[in-house]
Structure 1
Amino acid sequence: MSTTPPVSTTALLSAEALKVAFPGRRGAATARAVDGVDLDIRPGEIVALVGESGCGKTTLARSLLGLVPPTSGRVTFGGAPLDYTGRALKAYRKRVQLVLQDPSGSLNPRHTVYDAVAEGLRIHRYAGDERAAVSEALSRAGLRPPERFFLRFPHELSGGQRQRVVIAGALVLEPELIVADEPVASLDASVRGEILALLLRLRDELGLSALVVTHDLGLAWNIADRVAVMYLGRIVETGPVEQLLTAPQHPYTRALLSVLPEAQGEPVVLAGEPPDPSKVPSGCRFHVRCQVLASGEAERAGVAESCRTVDLPVLNGAGEAQVACHWAAARAGESGGGSADAPLT
């Protein structure tokens, strides 16, 4: 788990009331992929965005990168709204870089490691010493001595080395923030820890901020300062990593945590698949799969009807512990604000 505190309380990157909707084909309903999100990422902070496939986390990440313009709301960087003109986006993407899940798909098999890392410099017409910049980026990514890798092709590298090349390609432009989409999902378990340690070292040495998109709460525990749990287009729980993962409030977060090896008790098996983003349920958007509602606990707490009919507010992006759940709010009221029991030791 990350322990170094953020160097600033002022947000570097923010989403404000962000919504991204995609029109349905042939008259089908609009899919609300991101349906009202506030999220701040501070300088030197690693935020993990967690949720099942289809919950909207990749669309949110792409919108933060300027790849998908929002339907409403806005993205700000350094306090200024994101400008979607071509020149402004080019300058923005020098400061905010993307690291994709599959390094094999990210690297051109016909390009050497040197060319892969130097590509960003050439796109942005770097005026300095290209060879020195590529060498430094490879060294920072853990490929030493860097000259030994210059003329290698992706197929000559291991999976971990390819991911380090992708990270070096992002670092060469000296960004302030990276967005890493499932950065270790395609790697062997023995290599995952090395890449996560690398990201933490880059944060500590360079003050680099990161948004790590993942379905794995175990990964979040090992790398993040803060976690935002996303379900059906909205963040349903957020807070400091240790507080959220040891005392989760939302039934969805509890279900995700229940399948980790450290979890006590039986895993929570959620009914069905995540609902269609073009058919968001009324009330709490999780209620159709909620184990607390199904078990009668919400009924006993007097909130079952609210779960089915009363929408919940968008959580603010400031970073304190928050949850969008009628049942959790009722429990907190009964206990005078205390947290729910933790499923982990």
Structure 2
Amino acid sequence: MTTSPAAPSADAEPVPDRVAAEPLLSAGELRVAFPGRQGAATARAVDGVDLDIAPGEIVALVGESGCGKTTLARALLGLVPPTSGRVTFGGRPLDYGARALKAYRKRVQLVLQDPSGSLNPRHTVYDAVAEGLRIHKYGGDERAAVAGALSRAGLRPPERFFLRYPHELSGGQRQRVVIAGALVLEPELIVADEPVASLDASVRGEILALLLRLRDELGLSALVVTHDLGLAWNIADRVAVMYLGRIVETGAVEEVLTAPRHPYTQALLSVLPEAEGAPVILTGEPPDPSRIPSGCRFHARCQILASGEAERAGVAEACRTEDLPVLTGGSGAQVACHWARASGGGG
């Protein structure tokens, strides 16, 4: 289900030009492969990804389950070491030493999908939010820091929530506690994995409005991992559409979601409730990442190839046999599709 657009705070400070800014986080030719068990083929979960996130920018990473987006997010967080490629933060390569990773994760925080699973039921809200401060041996006023984080997350007055337990809170309040636990360390970037998927529709808009307000007030960057293009429309500056380990289309959210060029993006958008025309039903599941097909990795499920449009455009053979290059990082609109390039976009 989609959510209605959330307006940023009227008192928010202007955000720097997110298009012109140098990337805060950058991935280059990133690959993550998992060896198969008992002689099985290697699974290429992330198979060549370039992705940039600028200061104060929200990027939505969109795709079906199994497309590799969560593995990519974990690699960007340093939770999964890449097989090859690089991750840089603030212009410096990510150091995978234990001490360096601990410092990095203070600046880049994870917000998980299910707040019930993220919160220890035996810990009060205060202890849940203070946990990061204690791990990082915070030397300031812990109580003030916890209160400030809860307040920024929309739980006011914060002292009212200090001694509550997760089961005493609503789903939206629990998600705000999780967000406060990330904010208490004053990160520069958050990675939110399906941040509203477990919430009622009435609460989703509130959490999205909160993320937008945090961006505008704090200059906070975010990578939002989601299968919901409606969510991407409501919150993101840019969207990156991922399929079978690669980003297949990327660009400003208005451009990608109003004039999608890749058949996969078109199919994902066609099933939204407000979409015009008949939905495109993709056949089968995404291919196994240990058996990535030749040519365009989407060709076996592609409605454009099945309809004969790719044949008429003279690219059907290329679709089946010629691999497409990894899309480069940056803010410009890009697509990895033989047919879209041949037809000038195919809107």
Tell me whether the two structures share a fold, i.e. TM-score over 0.5: yes
For 1:107-128, what per-residue CA distance to the aligned partner results, in whole angstroms no more than 9, with x for missing partners? 0000000000000000000000
User: What's 1:57 paired with?
Assistant: 69
Shift of residue 8, structure 1, vs aligned partner: 4.9
SS in 1 for 2:261: coil
Correspondence for 2:210 among 198, 211, 222: 198
Cα distance in 1 for partners of 2:224, 2:281 equals 25
Correspondence for 2:57 among 42, 45, 49: 45
Superposition pairs for residues 1-345 of structure 1, below 5 Å? 5-6=17-18, 8-332=20-344, 339-341=345-347
Q: Which portions of structure 1, spanning 4 or more consecutive aligned residues, are displaced by more than 2 angstroms?
A: 1-5
For 1:279-302, what per-residue CA distance to the aligned partner results, in whole angstroms no more than 9, with x for missing partners? 000000000000000011100100
Cα distance in 2 for partners of 1:12, 1:33 equals 24
5+ residue gaps, structure 1, are 333-338
For 1:100-155, what per-residue CA distance to the aligned partner results, in whole angstroms no more than 9, with x for missing partners? 00000000000000000000000000000000000000000000000000000000
Cα distance in 2 for partners of 1:277, 1:86 equals 30
* 2:50 and 2:329 in contact (8 A); partners too: yes
For 1:257-282, what per-residue CA distance to the aligned partner results, in whole angstroms no more than 9, with x for missing partners? 00112211000000100000000000
* 1:8 and 1:43 in contact (8 A); partners too: no
* 2:122 and 2:165 in contact (8 A); partners too: yes
SS in 2 for 1:276: coil
Instruction: Using the aligned pairs only, state the percent identity.
Output: 85
Q: Is the alpha carbon distance of 1:137 and 1:7 closer, same or farther for their aligned partners in structure 2, counting shifts above 3 Å? A: farther
Shift of residue 7, structure 1, vs aligned partner: 7.4
SS in 1 for 2:314: coil
5+ residue gaps, structure 2, are 9-14
* 2:19 and 2:331 in contact (8 A); partners too: no
Shift of residue 340, structure 1, vs aligned partner: 3.1
| Alignment TM-score, normalising by the size of structure 2 | 0.95
* Alignment-mate amino acid for residue 204 of structure 1: D
Q: Number of residue pairs matched?
A: 335
* Alignment-mate amino acid for residue 273 of structure 1: E
* 1:7 and 1:43 in contact (8 A); partners too: no
* 2:62 and 2:242 in contact (8 A); partners too: yes
Cα distance in 1 for partners of 2:177, 2:91 equals 31
Cα distance in 1 for partners of 2:331, 2:302 equals 25
Cα distance in 1 for partners of 2:44, 2:115 equals 29
* 1:46 and 1:224 in contact (8 A); partners too: yes
* Alignment-mate amino acid for residue 52 of structure 1: E
Cα distance in 2 for partners of 1:177, 1:8 equals 18
Cα distance in 2 for partners of 1:7, 1:208 equals 15
| Alignment TM-score, normalising by the size of structure 1 | 0.96
